[in-house]
């Protein structure tokens, strides 16, 4: 059965409200996705609190990411059936209720279980929010709104760490989860007061109809290279910051916590490219824009690992983040375009692969840094990104309307 979605355009908000709605979605995305990263600065604190090795405490982050990825398989289709706004709103209430529980856990297994539950309910937001923009925003405003919301997702990689480091240092690691839950409450209020309910987005198809499509999409000769590339994006991002946490506080850098915070903050400069991804893809094409992003990311990561001084390391990490910030939104557009009528299931699978990579990043980084050589971890991540760049040679031109000039086709697809 085809998963046809019927839209009711009379529920679309006025143009005057679109900037406010976009801002609310950006804030909500920033809060929700920062949950992936808030345990990265806590490694030493959690190890001391639970008398556990870093290889064990790292699961507090990976459990969230893995459950978050798997949650897309449930909440994406549920938003198709019941509407985008209800899934976003009630999901945010669930996040606000579950997140503080992690700060009350008496042992590491309980913390990991709470983090997995937090990741699962956090998966309510992203698929519903992105679909909400597609269905409720005018065509000319969608790319810009998607770019800003995606930027919020990316900024959370740095903002989540900064928030966690500042709160845990001054108030203890438990307070991070309590305050993060309070931030989720603000998101629920903003969604209730500022984001109109969608009147459409309904389908009678069940979860099984989505699951039947996934194997064919995953093994598709057109989409398989996209998924292989996607698996390296957040894997490398989370992996790099995990390496920073363990390596920059030791020799030869010996950074204090406030100095490490500045290194994390520098990454924000690289994220400025994300809102421009749509315009760059319209001018140069989706594949070429993706290749540019991957080339920047791979070169930046490789140079970060080889940097002998802190200024060079920070600068090259910004280059890396700029490349990733360009690649992620471009890949969303590329997957949706190549999948055609199956774009909903294809993008769900893309997000699944993307965040499975995020869950693997810290585990791989910790395993490699056990050798005592942080450069090995960063260069291994760079090698993955260079391999991803090579896979772009397998990507075909996105489909478009017959007779449209090539550059205009790519502009439309962006």
Q: What's the pLDDT tens digit per position in 108-144?
A: 999 999 999 999 999 999 888 887 887 788 866 776 7
In which band, very low, low, confident or very high, does the pLDDT at 205 lie, cut at 50, 70 and 90? low
Regarding predicted confidence, which is higher, 337 or 189? 189
CA distances 397 to 294, 327, 335, 338, 401, Å, are 18, 17, 12, 8, 12
Q: What number of H helices and E strands is found in the chain?
A: 19, 0
pLDDT exceeds cutoff 60 at 31: yes
CA distances 206 to 79, 98, 121, Å, are 11, 27, 19
pLDDT (average), residues 231-249: 83
pLDDT exceeds cutoff 80 at 410: no
Q: What is the mean pLDDT of the chain?
A: 82
Q: What is the DSSP letter of 31?
A: H
pLDDT exceeds cutoff 80 at 236: yes
User: Are the beta carbons of 72 and 351 closer than 8 angstroms?
Assistant: yes
d(CA 287, CA 330): 8
pLDDT (0 to 100) of residue 390: 94
H helix intervals, 219-342 = 224-230, 233-247, 257-270, 277-284, 286-306, 310-339
Regarding predicted confidence, which is higher, 229 or 338? 229
Regarding predicted confidence, which is higher, 358 or 97? 97
pLDDT (average), residues 328-339: 83
């Amino acid at each position: 059965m085809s998963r046809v979605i019927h839209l009711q355009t009379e529920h679309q908000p006025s143009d005057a409200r679109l900037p406010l709605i976009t801002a609310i979605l950006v804030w909500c995305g920033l809060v929700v996705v920062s949950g992936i990263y808030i345990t990265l600065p806590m490694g030493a604190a959690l190890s001391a609190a639970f008398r556990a090795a870093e290889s064990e405490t790292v699961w507090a982050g990976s459990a969230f990411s893995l459950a978050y990825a798997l949650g897309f398989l449930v909440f994406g289709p549920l938003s198709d059936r019941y509407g985008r706004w209800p899934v976003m709103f009630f999901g945010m209430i669930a996040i606000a209720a579950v997140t503080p529980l992690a700060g009350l856990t008496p042992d590491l297994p309980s913390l990991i279980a709470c983090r997995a539950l937090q990741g699962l309910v956090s998966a309510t937001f992203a698929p519903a929010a992105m679909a909400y923009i597609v269905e409720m925003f005018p065509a000319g405003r969608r790319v810009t709104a998607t770019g800003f919301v995606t930027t919020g997702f990316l900024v959370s990689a740095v903002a989540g760490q900064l928030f966690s480091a500042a709160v845990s240092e001054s108030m203890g690691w438990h307070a991070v989860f309590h305050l993060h839950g309070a931030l989720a409450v603000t998101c629920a209020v903003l969604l209730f007061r500022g984001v109109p309910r969608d009147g459409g987005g309904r389908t009678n198809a069940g979860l099984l109809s989505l699951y039947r499509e996934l194997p064919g999409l995953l093994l598709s000769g057109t989409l398989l290279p996209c998924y292989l590339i996607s698996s390296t994006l957040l894997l490398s991002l989370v992996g790099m910051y995990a390496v920073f946490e363990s390596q920059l506080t030791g020799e030869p850098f010996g950074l204090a916590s406030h100095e490490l915070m500045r290194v994390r903050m520098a990454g924000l400069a690289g994220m400025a490219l994300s809102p421009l991804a749509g315009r760059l893809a319209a001018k140069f094409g989706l594949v070429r824009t993706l290749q540019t992003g991957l080339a920047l990311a791979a070169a930046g990561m490789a140079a970060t690992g080889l940097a002998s001084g802190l200024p060079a390391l920070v600068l090259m990490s910004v280059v890396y983040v700029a490349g990733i910030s360009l690649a992620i939104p471009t890949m969303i557009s590329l997957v949706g375009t190549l999948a055609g009528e199956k774009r909903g299931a294809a993008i769900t699978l893309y997000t699944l692969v993307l965040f499975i990579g995020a869950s693997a990043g810290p585990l791989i980084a910790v395993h490699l840094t056990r050798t005592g050589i942080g450069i090995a971890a960063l260069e291994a991540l760079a090698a993955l990104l260079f391999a991803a760049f090579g896979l772009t040679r397998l990507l075909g031109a996105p489909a478009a309307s017959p007779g449209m000039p090539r550059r205009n086709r790519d502009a439309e697809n962006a």
